[in-house]
Structure 1
């Protein structure tokens, strides 16, 4: 592929010579056509010349034969004795002298002159006995006819070939040709026109035998044929080729200038593109109709669309958020009218992958070289990070304020826990004393005794809870112990029995679920918080259901799920739900789930949130297995012990 590409580049560089080559080819074709035309014209001219020569030769031969016949008749008509006067007055002689003859001579048998007209001295040399011939007379070259007389002797009639030509040559041939009569040696006997033969003329010679022995009729064209390269066409073609060469030279110079300008333009465009691509600021160009005409790489990266997808697009743009389409279109119309703020304005855009981003847009008029505005150029800066930083700073400030309140709350909770220890100890002591007093008094009412025993248990439980909360708030480590998850769930449901009235509760625990290593009191508080959150979402839902399930996951953990059939989390994740001071309740403090997550992570577990089996929210947490349970394979999620509690 390299050779054809190199050949194409060479042809492209030499394309300036194409007009000159075409001009030369055209001139050559015209030259060939003119040469062929010359050859054709010469051939036609020669054919015409031959035709005219043969026609004139036939005319002259007919004339000569007629004159010769007249001489033969005259020789037969003359008497034996004839003198000059008689010869001159003879009718045939008079007509012949007027027509063509130069002289008429009568010779006897000894070739002596008997009569001669007109009265001129004849040549010393007697004419030959030939029937006809050519001889030199005083008037120039002449030809003669000779006829024998019956009485003996001969009749000799001389005639001038020039007169013969004048008598027989038509005017139109005289204008067209130089006509000559020549003998066998090439000596001219008679001619019309110039004696010299011009170069470039055509000639044709035909014999006049037997009318004139050894005599030829020669026709020469008057107008010499000039080859086409001696004509105006050759000059015009030369001028044409010269102008084509000049135009090709100018075209080559212009092409070099254009190539140099294109090279500079490409270099400048590449430099500008490199500058634009190196910018972190997005650039977009729009015409007066709002159509995108230019974007740089930063702009494409900003919105997630390629340049080929954006160029030529008219509003609405694909990166405008659907819920803010009307506001975006209104801002676009304001900007097209020239009302964009010079200090810029903020807007919210949508990336192709769906996440939103905040941008700052600066608009400026786009003016061409003639000073006419052809559109608008915009600079777009992504301020999402700045916005997020501002939001984080605001939340940090709020968190610090809430942290201060939480510290105060922790101190108050610690003081309350310290203060509640004595009342709870007193309640436990009084309860134990009351039970012993009733037993000594013999009061064995089972209902009262059961109530007092339950009161003592609740007082002890409250004491443990106060002690664990106080330990947690004073940053003491949890006190893990071996716990059975079904027992934890049962105690939580017993404590929340009053709150669970009217709610269907499903507890699904597989048989043989291994025990976990956890602080039972803290895990109970986590379960209580999750169940109460579910109940808060279900207070207006008919057919409210809560599901507590547990199963082993992997080799080291047990996962506990709390599901409900409420409205769900609506896209919120566990990180957002467990953020400090974030709450979906109007009266909530936003600390419940945050504390729960801290408790679970303190147990080396984790929390998750998603869609539950009942169609609502699901909050899950994991707890580590006991050291003795990790070596066991454990029972999978087999047949679950499921029971339902609550009142309808």
Structure 2
């Protein structure tokens, strides 16, 4: 309370001192203003008296016939040259008509020199008479000075008030003041000013009537000046006072600021703690040695351990999987050597209850307020559900692919039976022939051996057909290895030869040898080729159709190999073309719409792409683009 009272008293004293200094300074300025205003008034009146005397002498000399019109004109011109505020001088007769004027013709225009309106007043006055203030066509403010002659005539001069003020008021007056001639309503009649005065508190007005009826001379100060010593004194007192006030405020508010800062700090810490505990992402801070500095509630809930059990603990951690301790230590060592960059990896933790926890960890540098790298801040996300969902999707995809192969095999049952019948019929024929030879008394053993060798070859052929069918339908995980696509195409074409024959079609293969192998699963690639080639065969018609040809081409393009399957069928409807690879979308009447979807999934699994386009000669072209891996990529896979 005492500092507040002191501040109020000190402020009051300083305010009183400043008011007294300002009052004295204003009074000094007002005195100077009045003195200068009187000087200006005297200067203007003196110049007007000079013009009055000149007019009076001209009138007197002309009335006494001491000068003629030529001498009158010469003296009038000399006066006009020496006193530019006098615009013209004219001589009028008793009837008010101009007799002579300088410059010539000046007395005949409106608003120029004119005789006195009251002859009795002019005759009775020993001094020249002033006319009213009038505005000329060019905006100048003028008045007239007239002196009566004895014969009833008069001598009259036109005075420019603007020129009078502009010439007779020196520059040092206009540097400090705005000089204005105003009427009784403060309307400006004429002025000489550098800028428009904004402060009218320092203004002095002097009546200028006579000689100018209803006119006032107003002089206003541009600004309130000050003396250097007073200003320095005021500045010093004000500076010391402000410093004292500031010191008292600092002392008074220091305790309040400290309390407020502590309150804000507690609130901020509580708010941040609330934010951290509300996160569903686990947070873990550790130093370079792996010692845990901080864990949030979400991380504790993930692992089943409390913050007290984990904070301050060094590796190995209780939530580490015992099978991955060496791997985790190696990863932490690599993290410390990897520099200040964010790293991400997937790993498996072991909960307190012994169950596995699949997580994804994002490690970011932990930098303190001084820019020092204190350790690592980890964000841990539980991805167990995503892993399970991905595994379920993978199994379902494999089942779908196997189902597709079974469906394809079922659709090709008649063709497969026809292909198996050929070696089986040959086996039966060779067996019967061999039996007949053996029963013959003159049996030639060389013929029997030849028949048995041919029987063995047919048996091997039948076995290859059976093994191919078994590999095609067996449930298995994809096995990526080096595969020559040319052999896949040739074997698939041979496998579908009987099916193509049933549709009056032939398969033409353009597959150059010597191309680099690709990383692929041979069985899955055979499934794709069977599906695409059978689609092309079926699209070109059945047994009643004309003889057609299905073309399969393999070529190398940069670091990719391209397989194109071209048919000459009716093509694909535009309404179906855009959605052809979607599930349950088909262009066949009895199709299920799953084959091409499975094919695209298999090709994408091989990091390739499956596309289709209309053939220029009719039909459709399906393109498979597969990358040819670099040696290091092949080794990694």
Q: TM-score, normalised by structure 1?
A: 0.32
Which of these two proteins has the greater Rg computed from alpha carbons? Answer: 1
TM-score (norm 2): 0.33
Q: Which has the higher contact order (CA 8 A, sep 6+)?
A: 1
